[in-house]
């Protein structure tokens, strides 16, 4: 839609120049006001169309067109009697600058699509509500004001009379954000799950704190993560190990706190001072969500390092039923670095775990680790009590999120494979639903083998 609008507005600007070429300035001012009005009305109509979706992509352009219309109208009223001619050179420059300005204002529409979610398969309508949990036992190390660590939690839950809904905790990847897999949350919630998707402040691309301030990603963290991801020699170093240990320590502390706080609120049927919500009505709604939540059945999942965190908590906590790692290297299984090599946890992984990976990532790490170390994911899965894995051909890292549907351009820049995202993402979500149904609800049969030719089951 953005490209189409840009083409239409470009034609209109050129037509304005042609109709007003070598004419008096008064005629130029009149024509310009007319065209600005037409452009503004066209943009407004487009934004009002239900099929447009995500109107924020066009808001900037509408504002720019409105300002230009006001300026053109005022200028015409002031100078409508002028008899001077407008030179062709000035008219060409004005036209070019107008096209550039419109293109700049439509930039969000070029980058993002009208994606607003996928159709769900469950019987329930999906609702969403959010809170911020403050961990008073930890200081926020990214601030110097003595404030405590805050973790935003976004609940996706079934509307209606659902009861005994298993809890699924989701964590985003490096400089991701809580909506990275929103189609998955909706799919699970529509089938009777309560999903809590959390933000890790300063490790999320952006989030907000209890004061309403926008918290953006820590750039040192982002640059370090990118450098590690782009490393081509596959050689782990002690520095890398120490860095990822710090990341994992913060993330596991966040998620442990969130799980413990949710369970405490569920058991006490009350929200303590750790919970921040905008209104009392939100607090009441969260309590109703917790009432339908079965905290005796907890599944963990996440993308990238979020998946790695899920794996680590699944080993450390005794209240987790099953774990799904979505294209993440299981960093928590690396317990030390000795003699130039990583040492992995020798104890078998104790609970059911499913690993979803892109085939290229899996094969490159398994075959090309330069120091001869076995890939940590393979080591864990080979020694787990109940493990399954699926390697998807034609995928890259961002194919395991909703980003390719929201912004194919950004997804391609960050890692997009040849797979058709409109087909793959619902397929992946159905795999996750099937897995959690089997282990958290004791429902259905586990038929993972039917989804992909590259699959392994222990």
- In tens, the pLDDT along 293-336 reads 999 999 999 999 999 999 999 999 999 999 999 999 999 999 99
Q: Return the bridge partners of 127, or none.
A: 157
Q: Residue 190: its pLDDT value, please? A: 97
Number of domains in the chain: 2
Q: Is 418 found in the same domain as 271? A: yes
**CATH at residue 349:** 3.40.50.1820
The DSSP code sequence of 277-332 is: -SSHHHHHHHHHHHHHEEEEEEEEEEETHHHHHHHHHHHH-SS--EEEEES---GG
Q: Residue 43: its pLDDT value, please? A: 85
Q: Is 138 found in the same domain as 92? A: no
Q: Is 163 found in the same domain as 15? A: no
Contact status, residue 391 vs residue 362, Cβ threshold 8 Å: yes
The interaxial angle of helices 88-105 and 56-79, nearest 10 deg, is 150
- Distances in whole angstroms, Cα of residue 42 to Cα of each of 65, 97, 101, 291, 383: 10, 20, 17, 48, 62
Q: Is 91 found in the same domain as 155? A: no
Q: Residue 76: its pLDDT value, please? A: 80
Within 10 Å of residue 458's Cβ, how many Cβ atoms? 12
Q: Residue 55: its pLDDT value, please? A: 75
Q: Is 232 found in the same domain as 284? A: yes
Of 54, 84, 111, the domain-final residue:
111
Rounded distance between C-alpha atoms, residue 56 and residue 62, angstroms: 10
Rounded distance between C-alpha atoms, residue 87 and residue 18, angstroms: 12
Q: Residue 133: its pLDDT value, please? A: 98
Residue 289 lies in a domain: yes
Q: Residue 453: its pLDDT value, please? A: 38
Rounded distance between C-alpha atoms, residue 45 and residue 357, angstroms: 43
Question: Which residues are CB-contacts of 350 (< 8 A; sequence separation ≥ 6)?
Answer: 314, 315, 385
Q: Residue 454: its pLDDT value, please? A: 46
**Beta strand 194-198 with 206-208: parallel, antiparallel or unpaired?**
unpaired
Within 10 Å of residue 292's Cβ, how many Cβ atoms? 17
Q: Is 192 found in the same domain as 76? A: no
Which ranges of the chain have pLDDT less than 70?
21-25, 51-54, 81-86, 230-235, 367-373, 449-458
Contact status, residue 127 vs residue 159, Cβ threshold 8 Å: yes
Of 68, 83, 111, the domain-final residue:
111
The encoded tokens of residue 371 equal 């120091």
> Reduced to 3 states, what is the DSSP secondary structure of residue 131?
strand
Which pairs with CB-CB distance under 8 Å and at least 24 residues apart come from 411-416? none
Q: Is 332 found in the same domain as 217? A: yes
Q: Which regions of 102-235 does DSSP assign to beta strands (E)?
A: 126-139, 148-158, 165-171, 194-198, 206-208, 214-216
**CA 168, 382, 227 angle in degrees (round to 5)?**
70
Residue 419 lies in a domain: yes
Residue 117 lies in a domain: no
Residue 120 lies in a domain: no
Q: Residue 124: its pLDDT value, please? A: 96
Contact status, residue 73 vs residue 33, Cβ threshold 8 Å: yes
| Percent over 90 (pLDDT), the chain | 56
Q: Is 201 found in the same domain as 135? A: yes
Q: Is 144 found in the same domain as 90? A: no
**Beta strand 126-139 with 148-158: parallel, antiparallel or unpaired?**
antiparallel
Question: Which residues are CB-contacts of 201 (< 8 A; sequence separation ≥ 6)?
Answer: 140, 142, 149, 150, 151, 152, 207, 209, 215
Q: Is 157 found in the same domain as 35? A: no
Rounded distance between C-alpha atoms, residue 259 and residue 257, angstroms: 6
Q: Residue 452: its pLDDT value, please? A: 44
Rounded distance between C-alpha atoms, residue 259 and residue 238, angstroms: 31
Print the domain residue range for 89: 2-111
Q: Is 140 found in the same domain as 103? A: no
Contact status, residue 195 vs residue 158, Cβ threshold 8 Å: no
Task: Name the nearest CA neighbour of 218 among 228, 235, 205, 231.
Answer: 205
Contact status, residue 170 vs residue 181, Cβ threshold 8 Å: yes
How high is the mean pLDDT of the chain? 88
Residue 303 lies in a domain: yes
Residue 116 lies in a domain: no
Q: Return the bridge partners of 291, or none.
A: none
Q: Residue 450: its pLDDT value, please? A: 43
> Reduced to 3 states, what is the DSSP secondary structure of residue 52?
coil
Residue 119 lies in a domain: no
> Reduced to 3 states, what is the DSSP secondary structure of residue 276?
strand
Q: Is 315 found in the same domain as 286? A: yes
Which pairs with CB-CB distance under 8 Å and at least 24 residues apart come from 42-45? 42/5, 42/8, 43/5
Q: Return the bridge partners of 156, or none.
A: 128, 195
Tens-digit pLDDT profile for residues 92-121: 888 888 889 888 888 878 788 878 889 999
- Residue 345 backbone phi and psi in degrees, to 5: -65, 120
Rounded distance between C-alpha atoms, residue 276 and residue 399, angstroms: 34
Of 59, 86, 111, the domain-final residue:
111
Residue 121 lies in a domain: no
């Amino acid at each position: 839609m953005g490209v189409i609008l840009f083409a239409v507005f470009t034609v209109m600007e050129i037509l304005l120049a042609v109709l007003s070429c070598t004419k008096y300035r008064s005629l130029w001012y009149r024509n310009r006001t007319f065209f600005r009005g037409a452009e503004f009305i066209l943009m407004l109509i487009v934004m009002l169309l239900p099929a447009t979706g995500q109107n924020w992509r066009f808001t900037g352009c509408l504002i720019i067109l409105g300002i230009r219309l006001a300026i053109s109208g005022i200028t015409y009223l002031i100078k409508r009697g002028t008899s001077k001619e407008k030179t062709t050179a000035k008219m060409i420059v004005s036209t070019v600058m107008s096209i550039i300005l419109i293109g700049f204002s439509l930039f969000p529409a070029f980058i993002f699509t009208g994606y607003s979610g996928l159709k769900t398969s469950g019987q329930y309508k999906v609702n969403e509500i959010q809170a911020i949990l403050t961990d008073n036992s930890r200081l926020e190390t990214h601030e110097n004001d003595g404030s405590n660590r805050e973790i935003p939690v976004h609940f996706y839950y079934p509307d209606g009379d659902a009861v005994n809904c298993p809890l699924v905790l989701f964590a985003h990847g490096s400089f991701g954000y809580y909506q990275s897999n929103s189609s998955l949350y909706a799919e699970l919630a529509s089938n009777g799950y309560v999903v809590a998707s959390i933000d890790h402040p300063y490790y999320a691309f952006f989030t907000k704190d209890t004061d309403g301030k926008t918290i953006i990603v820590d750039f040192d963290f982002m640059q370090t993560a990118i450098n590690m991801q782009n490393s081509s020699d596959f050689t782990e170093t002690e520095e890398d190990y120490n860095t990822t240990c710090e990341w994992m320590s913060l993330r596991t502390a966040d998620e442990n706190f969130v799980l413990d706080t949710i369970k405490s609120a569920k058991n006490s049927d009350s929200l303590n001072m750790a919970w921040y919500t905008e209104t009392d009505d939100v607090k009441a709604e969260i309590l109703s969500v917790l009432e339908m939540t079965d905290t005796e059945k907890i599944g963990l999942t996440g993308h990238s390092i979020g998946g790695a965190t899920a794996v680590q908590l699944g080993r450390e906590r005794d209240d987790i039923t099953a774990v799904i790692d979505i294209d993440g290297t299981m960093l928590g299984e690396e317990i030390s670095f000795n003699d130039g090599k990583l040492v992995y946890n020798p104890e078998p992984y104790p609970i059911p775990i499913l690993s979803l990976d892109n085939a290229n990532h899996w094969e490159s790490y398994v075959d090309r680790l330069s120091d001869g170390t076995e890939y940590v994911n393979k080591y864990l899965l080979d020694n787990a009590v109940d493990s399954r894995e699926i390697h998807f051909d034609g995928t890259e890292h961002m194919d395991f999120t909703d980003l390719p549907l929201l912004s194919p351009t950004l997804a391609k820049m960050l890692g997009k494979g040849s797979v058709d995202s409109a087909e793959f993402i619902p397929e992946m979500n159905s795999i996750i639903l099937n897995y959690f149904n089997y282990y958290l609800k004791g429902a259905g049969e586990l038929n993972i083998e039917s989804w992909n030719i590259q699959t392994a089951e222990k």
